[in-house]
Every structure is written in C-alpha cells, then in structure tokens.
Structure 1
Amino acid sequence: AADARIDAALEPGGALRTPLDAGDAQTLAAAKAYVDQRATLVWDQTTSRYTNQSIVAMLASHADGLAYGVQIPKGSATACTKTGANTGIATPTPGVIGTPAIDNYTLRGPFFTLEVNGGVEVDGTPYVTAVQGDGRFARDGSNGDVWILTPNLYWLFDTSSTDYVQLTISDTALAGLSPQPKALLPGGGRRPYMLYAKYALSIVGGVARSVSGRPIANRNVSHNSLITQCKAASTGYAGKSYADDWYVKTMFLLKYATKNSQSMFAGVTSWNIQTQITVAESGTTRVIIATSTANNIPIGSSLMLGSNAAKQDRSAGTAFDVFDGLRVTRKESYDASNTAIYVNAAAAFNTTVGTYLSTAPWNTGACDAVVGDGSPTNRTNGREPFTVQGIELGLGMNEIVGDVILKSDGSTGWQIYTNPDSKNESTAVTANYLATGKYSPSGASDAGFYPLYPDSAGGFLVGAGTGASQSTGLCDQVWSNGTAVTGEREWRSLGGLWDGGNAGLWFVGGNGGLTDASWYIGSRLSAVGRAS
C-alpha cells in the first residue's frame, strides 16, 4: 500500500521530513511503519478492495497485548490516574497547522489509526478501498467516504470502587476484558476492525456522506430523519452510534487523563456572533462588517447571511436566505473601520446595510492539515473544531446519537434505551431496544445538571451523579426535561456554538423530541451501527 508519497514523509534515516503537505505526516509515518515494516496489505483486483484478512493481519502484527488503564475519580476532581501499561506515557501535546502534535500513543497497538476510504456491507462487514498514501485515497468523496480505521478493542469498565471508575482497554482478549461496544456483527462474529466517520454528516446528492470540504447536514436532521437519510433499515449504515461516541471518549480519557475535555479542546462553543452588514454591494462574493467583529471570525469558519433587518434566530428563513454555511476563504481591510470577508460562494449575491450576518457550524475538513490531535490554530479559544484520533469534532452543532433514545413514564425519570442493531432503528422505543436501567440526570422541572463521573449504560458512556460544575466533575452539562414529563427524547452530544463551558464530550441536550431539527443539530454517518 505504500507509495512514493509515504516514502516522501521520511528522511533516508527514517526521521519525519517537515513540513509535509495536507497535515499527513503522522498518519503517513504510521502507514509506513505498519504497511511497509509490519505487514503487507493485499489488494484484490476483482473487488478493488484491500482484503480484510490482510488488514486483520496488519493489525495483529503490531498488537502489543498490553492493558492500558485510567482511574477516573467519582468525586469532583477532574484529574485522572493512568494505570497499567498506560502509566508513565506522557499526555500528548496537541498540534496546530504547521506544528504537529507530540503523541507517544500513535504507534501503540490499541491506539493505532489509519485514514481510509471504504464502507460497510449490508450485514455490517466493513471494507477498505484505499489507504492514505496509496495513490487511491481521497478525502473529497471522489473515492468514497472517509473513515478512521482502528483495531477492534477489548475493555473493562469497573465501577465497584467507591472512589473511582477503572477503565481499561487492550487490543487482545485479556482475562476480565469484554469486547468493546458494537464489536460483534449481527451474526455474532467479531467485526474484523472498526471504521469511524472522520467527518460530521453531510448530504451530497441525497446521500449521507463522511467527506471533507462540505457544509454539515443540518436544519432537517433529527433522530427520526437519520433512519431514512442514512438508510439504516436497508444498508449497513446508520446515524452516529453510541459505539462511535464510546471510542472518542475512551481514547480521550486514556490519553489525556482528565474528565474536563474542554480543558484540552474547547470546540466551536463560544462563537455566537450576529452582526450587521456595514457596506452594501451588488454581485459580490464578500460581506463587509465592522473590523472589531471581523477580527473574531477565523478563516475557514462558516457563516450565513439573511435578508433580515432585525436579529433573528438562525432557524428563521430570512436569517439564511442569501447564503447558508459558506466558508470564509480570506479577509482584507476595506477602510479604517471595516473589513471585507470573502466566502466560497458558487454564485454572486447582493448585500444590504443593516441585514444580519451570523456564524454557522463549520464545514467539514477544517482540521485536515492538523497533524495528530489538535485544532487549526487554537484549541481552546472556543472558535475552532478539533480532532481526536483523526476524528474531527466540535464544529459548532449538536451531534445526534442515532441508536439512543431517552424515555420517561413520568415517574422514574429519563431512562436510556439503546438499539444494538441499526437495522431495527425506529421512530420510537420498540421491543428491539434495550432498557439499560440507567437514567439521565433530571429533577422536578426542566434544568441543566453537571454529572460527576462516567458510567456505562450498556456500553454507552454517560454521566452519572450530580453536583459538579463547568470546572469540576465531568465539567459538561446535561439538559433534561422534568421527571414528571412523559415522552421520548433524542440524545444530542457535544454542544452548539453558544454553549460555552456547558459543552464538551459529555454534554447532552436531552430535551428535544425525536423529530426535532434545527440549524444547530447534525450527526455523523456510522459504519458500526449493525451489531448483535
């Protein structure tokens, strides 16, 4: 699978050559180490795919059989303790464009990733059509969807201690460890490897995609719409799974040893700007606004413009009827007090003084040039998305977890139901869903709660306990309807662009119905929805 592009990433002595285009150094080095030195991926000319047997052999050749753990305090403390083989491994230093992350986990068996093109069969079996660096791979969708390939892991989640939760993973079936969530295919066989969507969901030509450089799918995305949009009942695909969510949370806890995800990666969570056009233009592809505001709009971010002369919610039609979700390509000074912001418009438009320009969730691919975990220029300013293990997150919208439903009978609270097999995805809880016996925090009335520590709801990692804050416990807010309310709710993760310190990996928006959709709600494609 290696080609000249991978070789170009390395000096003759084996050191990484810098700088390298497209932020590929770390992944290409991993490809070099795994593909060239460890095993050979086998290309099947008849299927135009790499054989799954050779991918499994590649992963097995570098499996280290070690148990990597972390102790997570059940109280208000946020710092965790690395245990087992994880002890002593330095916490990664995240990167920005031009400065690669320093990550000593990259080549360790359970943490290995490859960026690939591929997909999933109707029965849930994954396949790979290209590996980054092989001359076939593309991020723009021209060679299929983009995934992060990882080993199928084993794990232990032990809550028996009164003081801490013990989380342990391995690439090997060690004593006491169980297969990770969604590890087993519907027939009971083990999935050969895992594919996680690199990008948030976009809809291209009516098809759900994980590709770079696209506006995210929003406004019409809800728990129930994902069933049709991702063709969950008739294919191996689905909306975001709790197994996708599990992987990011697990990797973050093990690598960074903190419950406070926003202390490392804020995401687009403090970027709620609505500002008026200051200079009108006709037939343009730019907007002119006050420089004081323009300074807070990063290149690469996304905007919407409406014909509204009064500030409105971004759901209103006149808040985005000029353009919606266009990407900022450059900025230049217009005069002493104004700045022109150019966007990637396919057609020219007109602007009117006094109408409102608003920030929007970022397009996919903003972190493509980031090497390893990190953000384009600043991971904690609240204005930029981030990557963990190659997965781009925190674009400024909630991501619905499609195989989870919250349900309340009006007396016992909001119980978490999960669906093992996406083929059975439904617009309401059915007999195919599992009642986990775990509940999202709630009280007498609609309110936000701050859980203290993680718990497992049938493999879905959720917050437990209450009484924390934005800087203690899990640090992220769970919003719930009152316990006496009856009905079913969708599970929205990560947080929107105005949620600030309430957002993060453990955030939950749990007060929206299963058909609720809006400009700040999206999801992502999943290749791991089908399972037994």
Structure 2
Amino acid sequence: MSDNVINIPRESTMKALMEMQKMAVAGGANPGAADLCYKYMVAQCTSKEQVDNLFIEWWKSQYDASKFTKVEMLERWFGRVLEDDRVHGVSFPLFATSSTAIGELTDDSVGLKCVPSTAKTQGQDDFAHLPQFWCLEVSAEKKTDGSHEIFYVEHIDDIKDVRSGEHLCWVLQKNTYTKEWDEDGYRYLKMKCHQSTGYELWPEGRDRTGRVYAYAARPKYYAGIGASGKITCGTGLAPVNWTSHTAGVTKWRDRGTQYSGASGKTIKFLDRMMRLKYARKGNSGTIEGCSSYNYQYTAAYSEEGVERVLLTPEQAANLFVGSSVQIGIQSGTDRNTASNYSVCRNKLITAIKDVEIGGTTYSAVYVDNGGTTFDTTAGSTYLSTDPYWSGWNDDVLGTDGSKYNYTNGKEPGMLQKIEFMNGSYLIISDELWQWSTDENGDYNFDCFVCEDQSKVSGTAITEDYKKLTALTMVIPKGTTGKWTYIEDTAISDVEWPLGIDASGSGVGCKAGFYCYPAASGVRAGWCWGALRDGGVAGLACRPSDNSVGGAYWCGSVGSPGLAG
C-alpha cells in the first residue's frame, strides 16, 4: 500500500482500515469489507494517479475469475468504492437574462478548477480524482440479449488491447444522479451519487433490458473499420465518412443485430461535463475541437512515382503530421467532387520535410498510400485536409484537452477521455428528425428517439420511435435556409436547440443550428460540425437538411455505448 495514498489522521480510523486491508488482500474473502476499505482510501486521494493506483491494488487483490465477472468487479468499484456525499453544481443565466456563455460553479464544486491538457503539458483537473468524475477505459461487446461483456480493462490489461478495436472501446464513469431545471431566469444543473426528488440516473447506465448498472458506458471514439473488416470503436482507424445514416446502421448491424451506431445521449453528456467542469455553456474556446482545419493547396512542383506532394513551406506549416488528407486533380474546391480525391482520400500525413530543387525550397508532404505511387502536377494536383483518424489524443496527459493546442480549432478535442469533433459531423443513429407544417402554415421540427438499438431504422420513423413533443421547434412560415445561433439547449436526455436567435458564435451555446425548413421530410441526426465550419461548430451544433441517405466527406458514423 503506497504511503502517499493514505492520509487519515484519526488513529481509530487507521486501525479499522488496516484490519479491512488484511481482509482485502486475503483473496477477496470479504468483498464488502474490502470495498469499504478502499472507499475510505479513495476519499483521501488528491490526484487521479492515486485513485488509479488504488484501483490496480484493489483489482489485483479482489479479482478471481471463478467468482466474479469483470462486469461484476466494475459494478463493485463504481457502485461501492466510488462513493461520496458531494454535490457538484453549476448555474447559467438563460439567454433572455444574459447572452453570456459563462456560468458559475456551485455547491461542492466552488473553488475547483479545470485547465485542459496537451501531450506535453498536464493541465489542472480538480475533478479527475473525485468519485463522480473518475473514468476508465474498457474493451466491451454488447450481446444480442441486451447484456454486455467486458474483455480488457485499463490499468489492468495492455492499453493497446483496450483500444485495439477488437471489441468496442468504451469509457466508464459512475452512474450518478443529475437534476436540471430553470428558475428565475437561470438554468441549474446538479449531480451527486445518491437519489433525491427530481434527480435521475444517466440513461447510458441502463441496457435495453432495463437493467441499471453502477457505471455509465460511452464510446471513446468515432467509428472505424477494424482488422476484421467490420465496423468497430478503436484507435488508429480512419473515420467512416462518405457514409449515410442508412449505410451506417447497416454497417453496425453487420457486426451484430444489437448495434445501430452512436447515441445522441453521448452528446448531451459531453455538454453537461463541459458545464459541470468548466462552467461554460459551450465548448468553443475552451476545448475547441476541429472546426478550422480547412486547407486546400495545389502542388507547387511536378513529380512522378511518389507518395508525396510538394507545397510551399508556408502552406505546409499549416498541416500536422498524423492528420489526414485527400489528393486528386483540382476541380473546384468541393471535397465531394470525385476529381478532388481521385488519387486517394483519408490518408495520413507521415512526414513533412523541406527539400531543395533547383535552388527553391519546397516542403514535401508525405502520405501513407500503402506503397502505391502517383504522379503530381504543379497547379493541378490538389491536396485537401480530411477528418482525423481516431486516437489523435491518446497521448494527452489528462482526461481533457487536445494533443497540441486545445483552442486552435485545428485538432479533435477530448473530454472525460472521449474524443469529439474530428473534423466531420458525427452521425447519430438513435435519433431521427422531421420537418412538417402546422395548421398555421408554420414549420415544425421534431425529434424522434428509438431507445432500442436493435429496432433503430435506417430509413424511416417507425412505431419504435418516441416523439419528444416538448422539444418541437416552431419556425415561422416564410423562413428561408440559414445558419442561426443557439441560445440555450432543452432540458432533455438529448441535445436540442432552445431558441435560435443568438447574435453570433461568441454567445449563448457558442454553436449554430442550420435552419433549413421544409414542408415535410425525415432528417438524419448530424451533430458537432466539420473542419471548415468555424464559429457554427460546437457540441450543440446541428444542421436540419441532411437526408437519411445523404453521404458526404463531412459526415462520419459514430459508435454505440451501453444504452439501448
């Protein structure tokens, strides 16, 4: 037992813990006593590293595969060990009260501070070690009966196995109780470990059979195609873009009938974490995500039989090694145009090196095209940035941040270990949106949710969907398509605009809603924004014009978690 983990001043408490510790290391003979022991020790921790070390110690002393499944072990850890009486809260003025996106931490969160991390610098996260915020990566699979199995566990198994995509990489966090309400012009949000009137558990902590777990499970990455050829959630995988809602559901069903793709509930969770940790109504400017990495250049010099494009040094300075590009013959600037990706697409930049040719210095942007070479023509060969592959932030020294710079808008963000905004919209599967007109001729925009991923439709709103009537947006007749800015989001398990007349991207939720009214029509759930969207991109961002069959470079399929 590490001395720096235990700091309990009362001698009687120390003796009791020592006795419980003896039981804890005795092969799990008394699990209840062991869990209580570690609960008290976790309460003394002041860093996530200390809690991580206790988790390792607890697991090694308690895990017996003949007695416990890994699911049961994690139920014990999140349900019995990670326990406290704190209340974490935040308040914000509603837009009608103030247009600011800045809130105020309340209750036991007062005085706590968060500064995101990079791969070189660890920020400050006063929440990361606390029972309600401590999080853990696992490798898991949902079963056809609605239950799930956990195969690999962070800190216990090799992290390469956890993130490999052999199974789905999830992030677990305690299944806490939350309450959200409006009062006197303000929005209040509180979270705690125990039930109280008006508080509800996270829906991501319940499987489709209705069983509630001590933890909630959410996907760590966008979806990718794994080594088996099937869609999965793991690191180092190209995004599944150019794929519609319909095709995405089909790809997940090919993995198993229990899957359909990402849930909109994950988006709401990230929004709430941003609020509870940073007292910000939107992520923009705090952990920006990839919203401004829109670079397109023609080759500056012609070559034959290469896997690189020569640019000017000034152009290449805008690109990151490890980011993704497409290459083709320029035909306008639309990445959807076949000519613009006729050489390759979604290929990683492996290196950027200066070369001198005829007395002129160029920057060679090397790509991994699998050994297949191509010719380039100055002024014609066209290189465009593409959405990032998964795992860009795997080396970040914390649970929140971005590899190099979390505010520059050039790279994906990470919050509570979950990677988001990779430069393409996340296509969620369990929501379908619908335009209609009412008796006054006004446009109505509605959200329909399917709580069972095995019943999600790839094409239409069926009887398995529930209409969230309280979320209906009413848009005046005569309104034409345009980007608007979101004032507030609704109190709901899903992220949904509440007021879309904010004056710009720096206020309210700091994200946009593309209002494109139609007399009728089902729309796919596209969220977050793309690498070219700038101020409209953000956790709350969503357009209303994408059909269920629409497939473009800027929309990528997401991954499922536990819910449904």
> Structure 1-normalised TM-score?
0.89
Amino acid at match of 1:429: I
Distance 2:133 2:59 in 1: 16
Q: Which residue of 1 aligns with 2:350?
A: 329
Q: Which residue of 2 aligns with 1:399?
A: 426
8 Å CA contact retained: 1:35, 1:58: no
Match of 1:215 among 238, 243, 265: 238
Amino acid at match of 1:508: R
Identical-residue share of aligned pairs (%)? 23
1:247-396 → structure 2 map (5 Å cutoff): 247-306=269-328, 308-335=329-356, 336-353=360-377, 354-372=380-398, 373-396=400-423
Q: CA deviation at 1:519?
A: 0.7
Amino acid at match of 2:170: W
Larger Rg: 2
Q: CA deviation at 1:316?
A: 2.0
Distance 1:516 1:310 in 2: 21
TM-superposition CA deviations, 1:321-361 (whole Å, max 9, x none)? 21211112221112344201122231131132221111100
Distance 2:150 2:159 in 1: 10
Amino acid at match of 1:57: R
Q: What secondary structure, in the 3-state scheme, does the structure 2 residue paired with 1:311 have?
A: coil
Q: Which residue of 1 aligns with 2:551?
A: 517
Label 1:501 to 1:382 Cα distance change in 2 as closer, same or farther (>3 A): same
Q: CA deviation at 1:14?
A: 6.3
8 Å CA contact retained: 1:496, 1:503: yes
Q: Which residue of 2 aligns with 1:190?
A: 212
Q: Greater shift after overlay, 120-129 or 229-238?
A: 229-238
Label 1:207 to 1:440 Cα distance change in 2 as closer, same or farther (>3 A): farther
8 Å CA contact retained: 1:215, 1:364: yes
Q: Greater shift after overlay, 130-139 or 506-515?
A: 130-139
Q: Greater shift after overlay, 514-523 or 146-155?
A: 146-155
Q: CA deviation at 1:72?
A: 2.2
Instruction: Name structure 2 gaps, 5 residues minimum.
Output: 7-46
8 Å CA contact retained: 2:91, 2:105: yes
Q: CA deviation at 1:254?
A: 0.4
Q: CA deviation at 1:145?
A: 2.7
Q: Greater shift after overlay, 27-36 or 468-477?
A: 27-36
Distance 1:528 1:32 in 2: 26
Q: CA deviation at 1:491?
A: 1.7
Instruction: Name structure 1 gaps, 5 residues minimum.
Output: 1-6, 16-25
> Structure 2-normalised TM-score?
0.84
Q: CA deviation at 1:105?
A: 0.7
Match of 1:467 among 471, 488, 501: 501
Q: CA deviation at 1:230?
A: 1.2
1:500 aligned to 2:534? yes
8 Å CA contact retained: 1:157, 1:456: yes
8 Å CA contact retained: 2:309, 2:376: no
1:420 aligned to 2:451? yes
Q: Which residue of 1 aligns with 2:468?
A: 436
Match of 2:513 among 478, 481, 485: 478
Distance 1:510 1:315 in 2: 19
Match of 2:174 among 131, 140, 151: 151
User: Larger helix proportion, structure 1 or 2?
Assistant: 2
Q: CA deviation at 1:124?
A: 3.0
How many residue pairs were aligned? Answer: 503
Q: Which residue of 1 aligns with 2:72?
A: 53
8 Å CA contact retained: 1:232, 1:238: no
Q: Greater shift after overlay, 189-198 or 75-84?
A: 189-198
Distance 2:129 2:364 in 1: 44
Q: Which residue of 1 aligns with 2:521?
A: 487
CA RMSD, Structure 1 to Structure 2 (Å): 2.4
Q: What secondary structure, in the 3-state scheme, does the structure 2 residue paired with 1:108 have?
A: coil
Distance 2:384 2:62 in 1: 47
Q: Which residue of 2 aligns with 1:526?
A: 560
Q: Greater shift after overlay, 201-210 or 471-480?
A: 201-210
